[in-house]
Amino acid sequence: MEKLAIHGGAKTIPQPFKRNNNIGKEEAAAVQRVMESGVLSQFLGAWDPDFYGGEKVRQFEKDWADYFGVKHAVTVNSNTSGLMCALGAIGLEPGDEVIVSPWTMCASATAILVWNAIPVFADIEEKTFCLDPASIEKRITPRTRAIVVTDIFGHPADLDAIMKLARKHKLRVIEDAAQVPGAKYKGSFAGTIADIGVFSLNYHKHIHTGEGGVCVTDDAELAERMQLIRNHGEAVVEGKGVSRIDNVIGFNFRMGELEAAIGIEQLKKLRGLLDDRRAVAHGIAAGLKGLTGLKLPEEQPDCTHVYYIFGMIYDPKITGVSRDRMVEALAAEGVPISGRYCNIHLLPMYQKKIGYGKQGYPWTGGQYKGDVSYAKGICPVAEDLQDRRYMGLEICAYTYTESEVELVVKAFRKVWQQIKTL
């Protein structure tokens, strides 16, 4: 038997995998045309036809809306700024509570704080790593105004249950769809189920424009409010005849023409890229099937998974080896694996409740009347996964040839075979 790399044996995967690169000659040609036009952005922060941006931005928004089957797409310069637009657009008031997952990128919660509202963390469910509707319900108070639900790792959350709960309690729902462009939920695209969905186009995501994001909605008023927040709303409302001026404090979250031109080409490639990633994930899943104490990702009924990350649940009680030791052994073989994701509520900002200034605003000194807790223990599932049981394989980051899929499987099998030596 070959010695494990962690014990000094040869690595199963000697070289790191090549990073995925889905930028090709189509993007280069599109960028070249924009360069030659000299118009790298055509936005104007005033009431003018150019309030909506240049030709490429508008084309990209139309293409995105058509592809995803929504009425409105509003491009922005990141998913983070898109979430800020979305949370402002729904009319949050300072001191409102917004329920959010601890198992997502920190921006899903920070975008709430930006409006002086209060993130309240609900727990996640193991089958998808997304918010658990039962835990959301327990967190609803008279101050709750909205839910930010992240479709994490490439799989949609239990969106019907969450939307039903939200309608019952008159809450708005925003979907952080950064990791799921193209995943399906009961015949619709993930990101299009909630009041607003927000996609990311940063370098690490399925398709990208370097930096970028897109907000989608079927509600014309929400779209307009997001456009105002994106582009200096306070200077636009008079000219445009907008009478409701709450939360139209404007930023510059605009996407440039170069990014939009790249995005138009990237969107055409999305389906093919996702097919490749699904094939990779299915190959890995087939190879890892049957390893004791390892639960593989599963598509829920009527859902598709687009495998941004291949999230697994490991049971150290069954194997007798800690998750951290197991991840160490796999990483030593060259597997791109991590034993950590996110427990946002445990970040220093929440533990110390230090947001704006040093006095604890907006938790104290402002409109907030509740006493939200961020103590360890509030999200037992997310915490236990983070501390002891989660492990995730990066799918989207690499191209994975067939032989590389085989190497990943070989590395796992090698480690599992010699589990007693760990």
Ligand X SMILES: *Cc1c(COP(=O)(O)O)cnc(C)c1O
Q: How far is the CB of 382 from ligand X (least distance, A)?
A: 14
Residue 213 sits in the site that holds ligand X (CB under 6 A): yes
Residue 304 sits in the site that holds ligand X (CB under 6 A): no
Residue 209 sits in the site that holds ligand X (CB under 6 A): no
Residue 85 sits in the site that holds ligand X (CB under 6 A): no
Phi, psi dihedral angles at 97 (to 5 degrees) = -100, 140
Residue 259, helix vs strand vs coil: helix
| Region near ligand X per CB under 6 A, out of 60-68, 99-107, 117-125, 394-402 | 99-107
Evaluate whether 293 touches 315 at the Cβ level (below 8 Å): yes
**Taking Cα atoms as reference points, which of 61, 57, 77 lies closest to residue 251?**
77
Q: How far is the CB of 65 from ligand X (least distance, A)?
A: 19
- Of 188, 202, 300, 322, the residue at the interface with ligand X (CB under 6 A) is 202
Residue 104 sits in the site that holds ligand X (CB under 6 A): yes
| Region near ligand X per CB under 6 A, out of 171-179, 227-235, 278-286, 326-334 | 171-179
Q: Given the complex with ligand X, which of 159 and 321 has the nearer CB atom?
A: 159
Q: Given the complex with ligand X, which of 115 and 416 has the nearer CB atom?
A: 115
* Number of Cβ atoms within 10 Å of the Cβ of 93: 13
| Binding residues for ligand X restricted to 217-236, rule: CB under 6 A | none
Q: DSSP for 212-249?
A: -EEEEES-HHHHHHHHHHHBTGGGTHHHHT----TT--
Residue 286, helix vs strand vs coil: helix
Instruction: Report the C-alpha gap between 319 and 291 in whole angstroms.
Output: 10
Residue 144 sits in the site that holds ligand X (CB under 6 A): no
Residue 179 sits in the site that holds ligand X (CB under 6 A): yes
Residue 79 sits in the site that holds ligand X (CB under 6 A): yes
Contacts of residue 378, Cβ cutoff 8 Å, sequence gap at least 6: 121, 123, 345
Evaluate whether 274 touches 180 at the Cβ level (below 8 Å): no
Q: How far is the CB of 206 from ligand X (least distance, A)?
A: 10
Reported for 195-201, long-range contacts at CB under 8 A and 24+ positions apart, including other chains, are: 195/90, 195/219, 195/222, 196/86, 196/89, 196/90, 196/172, 196/222, 196/226, 197/70, 198/79, 198/82, 198/83, 198/86, 198/174, 199/79, 199/82, 200/78, 200/79, 200/82, 201/79, 201/259, 201/263, 201/266
Q: Given the complex with ligand X, which of 80 and 192 has the nearer CB atom?
A: 80
Q: How far is the CB of 308 from ligand X (least distance, A)?
A: 7
Evaluate whether 76 touches 255 at the Cβ level (below 8 Å): yes
Residues binding ligand X: what is the number (CB under 6 A)?
14
User: Hey, CA dihedral for 303, 304, 306, 308, is it positive or negative?
Assistant: positive
Binding track over 21-50 against ligand X, x by CB under 6 A: ------------------------------
Residue 74 sits in the site that holds ligand X (CB under 6 A): no
- Of 12, 75, 108, 128, the residue at the interface with ligand X (CB under 6 A) is 108
Unique residue bearing structure tokens 């390893």: 291
Residue 101 sits in the site that holds ligand X (CB under 6 A): no
Beta-bridged to residue 418, according to DSSP, are none
Tally of residues, the chain: 422
Residue 150 sits in the site that holds ligand X (CB under 6 A): yes
Instruction: Report the C-alpha gap between 360 and 362 in whole angstroms.
Output: 6
- Of 128, 135, 200, 319, the residue at the interface with ligand X (CB under 6 A) is 200
* Number of Cβ atoms within 10 Å of the Cβ of 382: 30
Residue 128 sits in the site that holds ligand X (CB under 6 A): no
Instruction: Report the C-alpha gap between 394 and 178 in whole angstroms.
Output: 15
| Region near ligand X per CB under 6 A, out of 173-181, 186-194, 269-277, 296-304 | 173-181
Q: Given the complex with ligand X, which of 135 and 200 has the nearer CB atom?
A: 200
Residue 140 corresponds to which amino acid?
I
Q: Given the complex with ligand X, which of 41 and 78 has the nearer CB atom?
A: 78
Evaluate whether 269 touches 207 at the Cβ level (below 8 Å): yes
| Region near ligand X per CB under 6 A, out of 101-109, 184-192, 264-272, 325-333 | 101-109
| Region near ligand X per CB under 6 A, out of 76-84, 140-148, 229-237, 254-262 | 76-84
Residue 105 sits in the site that holds ligand X (CB under 6 A): yes
Residue 78 sits in the site that holds ligand X (CB under 6 A): yes
Residue 110 sits in the site that holds ligand X (CB under 6 A): no
| Region near ligand X per CB under 6 A, out of 26-34, 175-183, 258-266, 270-278 | 175-183
Distances (CA, A) of 386 to 156, 312, 330: 20, 12, 17
Q: Given the complex with ligand X, which of 108 and 144 has the nearer CB atom?
A: 108
* Contacting residues toward ligand X, per CB under 6 A: 78-80, 104-105, 107-108, 150, 176, 178-179, 200, 202, 213
